[in-house]
Amino acid sequence: MAFVIRPDGNVDGSSLRVVRAEPSGVFDRAAMKAIARWEFPAAQTARQARQRLEFQLR
């Protein structure tokens, strides 16, 4: 996943994009929904971020 963290520490939901997924399209929506709720420390400027997510079904 790639996204932008706004200066206030919230994720810019419109910037979310799937960089790579295996299998393609299966968990994309769930991953974007989860990351959109994440919060980070505030900063002076917006910053780019990339995060690998791994879903495990049990």
Q: What is the pLDDT of residues 5-34, one digit of tens each?
A: 999 999 999 999 999 998 888 889 999 999
**Can you give the length of the chain in residues?**
58
Terminal C-alpha separation, the chain: 23
pLDDT at 15: 97
pTM for this predicted structure: 0.86
Tell whether the model's pLDDT for residue 58 goes beyond 90. no
Bigger pLDDT: 56 vs 17? 17
Token pair, residue 4, equals 């932008």
**pLDDT of 50 over the 90 cut:** yes
Where residue 55 falls among pLDDT bands split at 50, 70, 90?
confident
Residue that has been written with the tokens 């900063």 in this structure: 43
Whole-angstrom Cα distance, residue 10 to residue 1? 15
